[in-house]
Structure 1
Amino acid sequence: MAGEIEHVGPRLRAARQSHGWTLEDLAERAGMSASTLSRLESGKRQASLGLLVPLTRQLGIRIDDLLPTASPDPRVRRSPTRRGGMTIAPLTLDHSPVQTFKITFPAAHAAPAPRVHEGFEWIYVLSGRLRLVLDDTEHVIERGEAAEFDTRLPHSLSATVDGPAEVLSIFSAAGERLHTHVATD
């Protein structure tokens, strides 16, 4: 708790300054002396509810806004899924603005039917060889190579007949929904 209290003063100062108020402006509004407010902001005076309540009311914030928030666990704990022979392992949190996956494509003799949708996709081949059919042109992306494309162009992804391919795939939100949630035909 002692570590949390030390953040109150700087956050109180930032809230006051965001209103464009001087120490005197806020102190007068909250019914206290400017020196008391100054000591609170600098950490030289212990913060108490009796002092913080009138200040937070004037600032239009909650007392909780003056305390640090707990850092969320940054680890990704989403289970891989299997679909159409592929293994799709999420590498980003569910609420991330861009989604990243490690996808393992099984060996395939032919490319699947191309699809078109909104979005962009970026791929990097970790192992194997990836067949990218983009706008009726077939490209083989080798291990260590990357590709970027507009998913509004007809496209399909698959491993070659040589064996499976492991790929890092980064999608805009529209691409992520189609590639990881829609069943294949």
Structure 2
Amino acid sequence: MTFAPDIVAAALDRVAPRLRALREQRGMSLSELAALTGVSKSTLSRLETGQRRPTLELLLPLSQVHRVPLDELVGAPPAGDPRIRLRPRLVNGRVVVPLTRHSAERHAWKIVIPARASTPEPKTHEGYEWLYVLSGRLRLVLGDQDLTLEAGEVAEFDTAEPHWFGSAGAEPVEVLSLFGAHGERAHLDGSADAGR
């Protein structure tokens, strides 16, 4: 299969608005992005206005900073394989598997927390989080509360409240986390349980 030059040109033309939208969604200035990527502010500006053609050397650091796959930046056509390749990462000793693309308004992760004694260090940030315990026991420190959640239990909270969570037992805990950056609460439809 070969691509006609006009298809390639059209795909490259769509990169500029994508780059600008990603930066604005994250509330980042060109200067901040330049500092994180090592790409000059003027080059970033020209990329976002379409005055500079994107190259792999420019797109790779932008892809990493925005945590967006390169094919999403350039609008690559689907490859035909419907399987999603999840890429687990190790974050502060926890295995984190992103279940949504980072450009989404709401984020979903599967988090595996090893069984080890940890001293809670509650933190705050903007947003709203919903946690579902898949397996194991989860210790959740939320404000003045110190809770233990079992498999199948759910917690929902405003992340402006000091919070921390980790393993509460002798085995790892697996958690599904849904996070909305602007305080969106999870709306669960209880209609499936209505007939039980």
SS of residue paired to 2:116: coil
Cα distance, 1:72 vs structure 2: 9.4
The two structures, once aligned, show a CA RMSD in angstroms of: 2.3
**1:21-60 alignment runs, 5 A limit:** none
1:87 aligns with 2:87: no
Deviations 1:86-137 (A, max 9, x none): 0000111232210000000111323430001110000000000000000021
Asked which structure has the greater CA Rg, the reply is 1
Query: What runs of 5+ residues in structure 2 fail to find an aligned partner?
Result: 1-76, 184-196
Q: 1:174 to 1:164 in 2, by over 3 A?
A: farther
Query: What runs of 5+ residues in structure 1 fail to find an aligned partner?
Result: 1-69, 176-185
Query: What TM-score does the superposition give when structure 2 sets the normalisation length?
Result: 0.49
Q: 1:124 to 1:101 in 2, by over 3 A?
A: same
Partner Cα separation in structure 2 for residue 72 and residue 132 of structure 1:
41
Cα distance, 1:159 vs structure 2: 0.6
CA contact (8 A) 2:96 2:111 kept: yes
Q: 1:111 to 1:79 in 2, by over 3 A?
A: same
1:121 aligns with 2:159: no
Cα distance, 1:151 vs structure 2: 0.4
Query: What TM-score does the superposition give when structure 1 sets the normalisation length?
Result: 0.52
Q: 1:97 to 1:109 in 2, by over 3 A?
A: same
| Equivalent residue, structure 2, for 1:99 | 107
CA contact (8 A) 1:117 1:174 kept: no
CA contact (8 A) 1:76 1:92 kept: no
Cα distance, 1:174 vs structure 2: 6.5
Q: Which of 143, 151, 165 is equivalent to 1:143?
A: 151
| Equivalent residue, structure 2, for 1:13 | none
Q: Which of 164, 169, 180 is equivalent to 2:177?
A: 169
CA contact (8 A) 2:95 2:112 kept: yes
Q: How many residues align?
A: 106
CA contact (8 A) 1:107 1:159 kept: yes
Partner Cα separation in structure 2 for residue 116 and residue 147 of structure 1:
16
Cα distance, 1:85 vs structure 2: 1.6
The one-letter code of the counterpart of 1:160 is: A
CA contact (8 A) 2:126 2:181 kept: no
Partner Cα separation in structure 1 for residue 100 and residue 143 of structure 2:
29
SS of residue paired to 1:92: coil
| Equivalent residue, structure 2, for 1:108 | 116
The one-letter code of the counterpart of 1:142 is: E
The one-letter code of the counterpart of 1:165 is: V
The one-letter code of the counterpart of 1:124 is: Y
Q: 1:141 to 1:108 in 2, by over 3 A?
A: same
CA contact (8 A) 1:88 1:103 kept: yes
